Structure 1
Amino acid sequence: MSRRAAIAAGTGGTGAVTDAVESTAFTEPRARELLAAAVPEAPVADASLLALGENAVFAVGGLVVKVGRDASLLERARHELRVAAWLAERGVPAVRAAEPAPRTAAGHPVTLWHRLPEAVRPAGAADLAGLLRVLHALPAPDFALPRRELLGGVERWLRLAGDAIDPADAAYLRERRDGFAAQAAALTPHLPPGPIHGDALPRNVHIGPDGPVLVDLETFSGDLREHDLVVLALSKDRYGLPSDAYDAFVQAYGWDVREWEGCAVLRGARETASCAWVAQHAPGNGAARAEFSRRVASLREGDAAVRWYPF
């Protein structure tokens, strides 16, 4: 089973597990300690680390387990599980939780998901557009969806960065965050608001034997549908998404968000959040510090053509 197939999962668990592991930096060894505490019945010695970011993501047998970076992510884990259950009820192809509620270890949320089968091919922009059309046609669920607080994580990411980044850069991003938050609140949408994925990228689509499956539901929200479409527009500008891939996305979805006058506002907000997100990895990671500096400099200089690199 491929690394991508194993990564494609969400969160889950029953009951709370506590341990005596001391709070420390969120490294792979620390995440493995938390994994062992929360899922003692699993063969954690054989667990394979798939990703280390907001969560440490492990493949463990037929499961994928996500260990949250800190206790503040517990409610988000619960939210992701509610969304996964609702999408299953609606028949939307998306990851399925192995347990209905998070476990915890030393306050960190730990969630369990069914591991997806081997991918038959990489996901493309048109695959994402097809899933978004299905998702954007859904009515609101019978539970409250949060707004897409695109900028809501900025303060936490900057806090986690600590003195690994220039305080002036942190202050600049906070000011930029506040400005775009005010502008975004005043936008008039082109599409009717409703359920959105919140981080609509091809990397969050898995192409299995039965077709495309939507993964990573943590940012699922009820907000402007344009949020999901601006992501690919920014990917084209900043991350090297080929023009023909973006054109295929637009054709499959049926509308180009760049025609909307609010596009620049949501794009700017997402750039701000994406820059701050890298900051949390800066302590002890020279590559993260370099990428953070590249991004901040391009924002300060107003240069929208500077290439950013996924981190």
Structure 2
Amino acid sequence: MISPSPSPFTEARARALLAQACASAGLRPEAGVRLLALGENAVFELGDPAVVAKVGRAAALTARAARELAVARWLDGAGIPVVRPADAQVEAQRGGVITAEGHPVTFWRRLAPAVRPADSTDLAPLLRALHGLTAPAAPGEPLPRRDLLAPVERWLRAAEGHLDPGDAAFLLARRAELAAAVQGLTPALPPGVIHGDALPRNVHVEQGGPVLLDLENVADDLREHDLVTLALSRDRYGVPEQEYLAFTRAYGWDVRDWEGCAVLRGARETASAAWVAQQVPGNPAALAEFRRRVASLREADAGVRWFAF
């Protein structure tokens, strides 16, 4: 059963939380604050200072936000090109995540302008480097497993009253079935450090080369997680076949050759369908996309195109 939904997380709400966090951090943005993305986090560019802020949608994301800061510092120290916390500009952040009415807010160095859009061949070498690391006993605590399906109920709860209850029940049942199946998978690759949401959109190509972004799902788990993501993007989001094959050549292996691929793909599809639900209140386009995704899963139609949010 899904609990009552929280207050809507709108741009206006996120801006109000950001203002509180900036005051706590001693930041006084002098230029216009610009919204870059609104999903699990509201991401804002502050202008001056050269900082990007991430405002978490829910208090439940606080521990993950703290871990992302620690992981970024660890990966930077390990020589992986990653986005870095704005510790020099935000001294208060060194003591932990800054919160505003319970919502986690983190501050990051603004990257140099992209020289071009990232593609799958920018992602592949970053993953190879990341996958070559040994998971540490720290930062702070061991890296978690990558539980794709854990947030499904929270995402559906955020849209309670806006969704067909039958669609929500279908996704919850599918989540339970696939969670059990994922536990029984035998990996083809040695498990270890993974990004957890490995897509070209989470790579920024600046003058010095590609940089890995959005480290909140870095985990210690099946490396196949990072490879299934792009295979699904080929099938559902229109990544061209030639680009996908370029990725597999650059990485050195095609996850579709693994017998567990269908199970892990199914888990990611289920999570991806539920993720859109949190965007549904006040957004008819998100509701249409949610319904499209659920209908294609009900009908087991792997050819239906999904559209990114």
- TM-score, normalisation: structure 2: 0.92
Asked if the contact 1:35/1:44 (under 8 Å) is kept, the reply is no
1:25 aligns with 2:13: no
1:55 aligns with 2:41: yes
Superposed displacement of residue 248, structure 1? 0.4
Instruction: Give the equivalent residue in structure 2 for 1:117.
Output: 112
Note the residue ranges of structure 1 that are not aligned, 5 or more in a row. Answer: 1-22
Q: Match for 1:74: what amino acid?
A: T
Instruction: Give the equivalent residue in structure 2 for 1:139.
Output: 134
Q: Match for 1:177: what amino acid?
A: R
Q: Deviations over 1:238-282 (max 9, x none)?
A: 000000000000000000000000000000000000000001111
Structure 1: distance between partners of 2:31 and 2:103: 20
Superposed displacement of residue 72, structure 1? 0.7
Map residues 198-209 of structure 1 onto 2, 5 A cutoff. 198-209=196-207
Moved more, 292-301 or 136-145: 136-145
Superposed displacement of residue 28, structure 1? 1.1
Instruction: Give the equivalent residue in structure 1 for 2:77.
Output: 89
Q: Deviations over 1:111-139 (max 9, x none)?
A: 00000001111111011011000000001
Instruction: Give the equivalent residue in structure 1 for 2:266.
Output: 268
Map residues 192-271 of structure 1 onto 2, 5 A cutoff. 192-271=190-269
Note the residue ranges of structure 2 that are not aligned, 5 or more in a row. Answer: 1-5, 88-93
Q: Deviations over 1:1-45 (max 9, x none)?
A: xxxxxxxxxxxxxxxxxxxxxx84211111111111110222176
Q: Deviations over 1:134-166 (max 9, x none)?
A: 000001112201000100110100110101000
The total of aligned residue pairs comes to 289
Structure 2: distance between partners of 1:161 and 1:242: 32
Instruction: Give the equivalent residue in structure 2 for 1:189.
Output: 187
Q: Match for 1:211: what amino acid?
A: G
Structure 1: distance between partners of 2:289 and 2:30: 33
* Equivalent of residue 17 in structure 2, options 14, 26, 34: 34
Report SS of the residue matched to 1:251. helix
Q: Match for 1:222: what amino acid?
A: D
Q: Match for 1:274: what amino acid?
A: S
Structure 2: distance between partners of 1:158 and 1:264: 24
Structure 1: distance between partners of 2:42 and 2:14: 6
Q: Match for 2:16: what amino acid?
A: E
Instruction: Give the equivalent residue in structure 2 for 1:164.
Output: 162
Instruction: Give the equivalent residue in structure 2 for 1:8.
Output: none
Instruction: Give the equivalent residue in structure 2 for 1:78.
Output: 66
Report SS of the residue matched to 1:46. coil
Q: Match for 1:104: what amino acid?
A: T
Q: Match for 1:232: what amino acid?
A: L
Q: Deviations over 1:166-207 (max 9, x none)?
A: 001000000000111000000000000000000000000000
Q: Match for 1:89: what amino acid?
A: G
Asked if the contact 1:36/1:44 (under 8 Å) is kept, the reply is no
Structure 1: distance between partners of 2:246 and 2:30: 41
Structure 2: distance between partners of 1:236 and 1:25: 32
1:300 aligns with 2:298: yes
Q: Match for 1:57: what amino acid?
A: V
Report SS of the residue matched to 2:43. strand
- TM-score, normalisation: structure 1: 0.91
Report SS of the residue matched to 1:164. coil
Structure 2: distance between partners of 1:153 and 1:43: 33
Superposed displacement of residue 102, structure 1? 1.2
Instruction: Give the equivalent residue in structure 2 for 1:46.
Output: 32
Identity between Structure 1 and Structure 2 (%): 64
Structure 2: distance between partners of 1:45 and 1:296: 42
